[in-house]
Structure 1
Amino acid sequence: MNQKFRSINQALSNEMTIDGEKYLYFGGTAYLGIPQNQAFTELYLEGLKRFGLNNGTSRSNNIQLGIYQEAENVAAARYMAQDGLITSSGYLAAQLTVKQLSAFGHVIYAPNTHPSLWINEKPATSGSFTNWSKEILQFINTSAEKNWVLISNSMNNLVPEVYDFSFLNDIDPENNIILIVDDSHGIGINNQGLSALSALPKKKNINSVVVASMAKALGIDAGLVLGTEKMISELKSTSMFVGASPPAAAGMFAFIHAQQIYQSEWSKLQHNINRFTQSLHHQWKFEPGFPAFLADTPGIDQHLLNQQILISSFPYLNPNSMPINRVILCSWHQPSDIDHLVNTINTFS
C-alpha cells in the first residue's frame, strides 16, 4: 500500500494534489458531495454563529437546545417514520438500539452485519443474505418461540447488494418481529433518496427500526434512529441516550435546512451513475441507483493509479486477501471526470 495516500493533508474531493501530482478521486462515502458543497457549508457556518462549536450537555439536562427535537421531527417526516432520535454518532445510535431492543425476543443476525450492531462478539452467521432469508423464514415459522429480533444491514455496500426484506411478508402472523436495519450507506441515496424504512414490509406483527450514520451521504457527524413513537420514546429513556452528549447543533441546523441541497445533489449523482454505466465496456457489479461499482478484475486499481486515478482498493475479508476494487461516484464528480475514468477503464485488458 502506497504510504503517501495514508496521510493526506487536505479535504477529500473529486480532485486532489498529493506530492505535487494531481489525482482524480473515486472513493469514500461522501456520495452527495456534502463536504465540498458551498451552500451546505454556509448553512453550517450559520449554525455555528447561532449555536457555537459544540454542546457538551446531555439530553437530560434541564436546559435544552430545541434544535435537537426539531431535527428529530424533520428527520422523521423526511424519511417517513413516526418519530426519530439523534445521537452523536451512528455507532452510538446502533448500540443503544440493539442493546435495548434485544431483550424483546430471540436475536438473529443476518450475514455481514456491521460491528456497530453487535451486542457482544461477532455473530457466527455467514453466507448470502438470500439463503439466510430462506432459512430464517422456515426457522421462525416452525419454531415454538413467538418473539424475535432480526438485525441486519440494509445492504452490503462492498459487493454491492441491496437486501430484499419481502420474505418477512411470509412470516406467520403469530410471530412478533422487531426488525433492526442499519441504513448508513443507503439513507439519502436508495429508495429515491429516502431511507430503507420506506421499503420495509408493513405488517402489524413487524416493528421496523432503522439506524444510520448521518456522516456519509448526509454529511453530518451524527447518528439517527427512525421508528414508531413508542419505540423512540423507549430508546430515549435509556441511560445510554440520557447520558450521552448530542452532536453539534450547527450540523443539526444545516441538516434541517438542506433538503433542497440533498435533492439537487441526489439528482446530480444519478446523472453521474447513468453516464458511467452507459459508457462502460467492462462488466462491473452494481445496484441501480447506488454509486458503488465492484470490479473483479485484478490489477484494475494499479492501471487506474498509473493514470492518476485513485479508487477504493483494500484487502477483504482479511489483510491477506486480494484487494476489493471499487469505483465510488459522488455528486461532486464532473462529466469530464466520469469520461476520463471510463476511457481509462476501457483501455484495460
Structure 2
Amino acid sequence: MKPEFQSINQPFSNEITINEKSYLYFGGTAYLGIPQHQEFQDLYVEGIKKFGLNNGTSRSNNIQLGIYNEAEKVAAARYHAEDALITSSGYLAAQLTVKHFAAFGAIAYAPNTHTALWLNDPPPVSGTFTSWKNDIVDQINTSTEKNWVLISNSMNNLQPEIYDFGFLNAIEPDKNIVLIVDDSHGIGINNQGLSVLNALPKNKNVSCIVIASMAKALGVDAGLVLGSKKIISALKNSNMFVGASPPAAAGLHAFIRAEGIYQDQWSKLQKNMALLHKSLGNKWKFAPGFPAFLIDDSTIDQYLLEENILISSFPYPTKDSDPINRIVLSSWHEEKDIISLVKTLSKR
C-alpha cells in the first residue's frame, strides 16, 4: 500500500480523497456509519456542551455524573441483560472481566480469541472453533475439575464466521461454567442488531458474560460488559474498575438517545448487504447478517486500487502471510457506491 494511505488526515467515510483523487472506501469497522451520521454527531456535540470534553475522575469518587448509571441501565435494557457496566474502552472491559474470573476455575480459550482477553501470553490453542467446541465438551465432561472459565469471541470477523454456542447444552450439569464472550464486532449488527447474549443458551450451570468495544458499530469510545446483577456488582467492586476513569460522558449522552438512529442504520445496512450479495459470485465467503465479504484472491486489492476503490487488506496471521482481502460494507454506503463496486468486480 502506498505511504499516503498510512497517514490519512480526514474522517473515514464511504469516500476518501487523497492527493486530490477520490476513492470509494469499503473497509473499517464503522458498520452502521455512526461516525459520519449527522444526527448522532449533533447528539454528541449536545453532550459535549452539557458535560464537557472528558471526565478524569474515577467511578469511586464521592461526586459523580449520573449519566454513567443511566447509560448502563439503558444498555442493559437495550441488549436484554440483567445489568451492565461501562468502561473507557473495550480492552479495559475485557481485561477487567477476565482477570476477575481467572481464579474461578480451569481456563480454556477458543481459537483466535482477541488479544484483549488474554491473561498474559498467547493461549496455546489453534484450529477451528468447530473442532475446539467438540474437544472442550469432552475435556470438561471427563475432567475432575468442576469449575471452568471459557473465553471466546462471538465470531471470527475476518473469515467471517458467527459462532454457535449450542455446545454448552452438552456439558454435564454438575460442571460450573463462566462463559466470557467478546461481541465487539457483533453488537449492534448480528442478532437483529442486538448482542450475542440473546443467542447464548440459558443453562443454570452457565453464567454468561458479554464484553464489547462500543467503538465499532455503536460509534462510542467506550467498553461494555453485560451480565447478571451479581456479576456486574462484583466487577464494579474490583480494583481495576474502581481505579479507572470512565469514558467521555458526551458519547454516552448520544448513545442513550440514539436507539432510533441505530435501528434506521441497521435497516439500511441490511439493504446494502442484500444488494451486494445478489451481485457477488460464489467465490466470496460471508456470514449471513454480517457485512464483510472475503475472497481468496491475494491481488484483488491492487486491482481495485487501480480502479480507485479501497478495501480491507492486510497480511494474516503473520506479517509474511498473504493478505486477507475483504469488502466491508457500512450504512454510510449509498446504492451507487455498491453498484460501482459490482461493475468493477465484474470486469475482473
Q: TM-score range by the shorter chain?
A: over 0.9
Q: How does 1:268-279 map to 2 (within 5 A)?
A: 268-279=268-279
Question: Which residue pairs with 1:57 in the alignment?
Answer: 57
Corresponding residue for residue 27 of structure 1: 27
1:298 shift after superposition: 2.5
Partner Cα separation in structure 2 for residue 280 and residue 147 of structure 1? 46
Counterpart residue number, 2:140: 140
Alignment of structure 1 residues 13-24 onto 2, 5 Å: 13-24=13-24
Calculate percent identity across the aligned residue pairs: 68
Task: Name stretches of at least 5 consecutive residues in structure 2 with no aligned partner.
Answer: none
Q: What's the secondary structure of 1:103's corresponding residue? A: coil
Contact 1:211 1:226 in 2 (8 A): yes
Give the CA deviation at 1:243: 0.4
CA distance in 2, matches of 1:67, 1:233: 18
1:282 CA drift (Å): 5.0
Separation (CA, whole Å) in 1 of partners of 2:281 and 2:134:
35
Q: Residue 104 of structure 1 aligns to a residue in which SS?
A: coil
1:168-199 per-position Cα deviation (integer Å, ceiling 9, x unaligned): 01110000100000000000000000001010
Cα deviation code 1:256-304 (max 9, x no counterpart): 0000000000000010000000011352110011001101022111111
Q: Report the counterpart of residue 327 of structure 2 in structure 1.
A: 327
- 1:176 maps to what in 2? 176
1:208 counterpart letter in structure 2: C
Name the residue aligned to 2:210: 210
**Match of residue 238 from structure 1:** 238
Secondary structure of the structure 1 residue equivalent to 2:102: helix
- Structure 1 runs of 4+ aligned residues shifted over 3 Å read none
Q: Secondary structure at the match of 1:279?
A: coil
Is this contact kept in 2: 1:282–1:346, CA < 8 A?
Answer: no
Shift of 1:48: 0.7
Deviations 1:130-186 (A, max 9, x none): 000000011111111110000000001000010110000111000010000000000
In the TM superposition, 1:5-154 aligns within 5 A as 5-154=5-154
How many Å apart are 1:52 and its aligned residue?
Answer: 0.6
Alpha-carbon distance between aligned partners in 2 of 1:104 and 1:117, rounded to the nearest angstrom: 16
CA distance in 2: counterparts of 1:340 and 1:72, whole angstroms: 41
Q: SS of the counterpart of 1:107?
A: strand
One-letter amino acid of the structure 1 residue matched with residue 126 of structure 2? S
Query: Whole-Å Cα distance in 1 between the matches of residues 117 and 282 of structure 2?
Result: 35
Equivalent position of 2:313 in the other structure: 313
TM-score, structure 2 length as denominator?
0.99
User: Any stretches of 5+ residues in structure 1 without a counterpart?
Assistant: none
Report if the CA contact (8 A) 1:108-1:148 is conserved. yes
**Conserved? CA contact 1:293–1:328, under 8 Å:** yes
> 1:291-346, CA deviations, whole angstroms, 9 ceiling, x for partnerless residues?
01101022111111111000000111111111110000000000000001111112
What CA distance in whole angstroms lies between the structure 2 residues aligned with 1:318 and 1:143?
34
Structure 2 Cα separation of the partners of residues 21 and 281 of structure 1: 29
Q: Distance in 2 between matches of 1:91 and 1:123?
A: 17
Report the residue type matching 1:48 in the other structure.
I
Aligned residue type for 1:265: Q
**How many residues matched?**
348
**What is the rounded CA distance, in whole Å, between the counterparts of 1:40 and 1:228 in structure 2?**
30
Residue identity opposite 1:121 in structure 2: D
The one-letter code sitting in structure 2 at the alignment partner of 1:125 is V
CA contact (8 A) 1:281 1:346 kept: no
CA distance in 1, matches of 2:90, 2:108: 21
Residue 344 of structure 1 corresponds to: 344
For normalisation by structure 1, the TM-score amounts to: 0.99
Counterparts of 2:40 and 2:296, CA distance in 1: 36
- Opposite residue 193 of structure 1, the aligned amino acid is G
**1:259 to 2:274 alignment:** no
How many angstroms apart in 2 are the aligned matches of 1:9 and 1:203?
49
Which digits, 9 at most, give the CA deviation of each residue in 1:190-212, with x for residues without a partner? Answer: 00000010100101000000000
The separation in 2 between residues aligned to 1:6 and 1:121, in whole angstroms, is 29
RMSD: 0.6
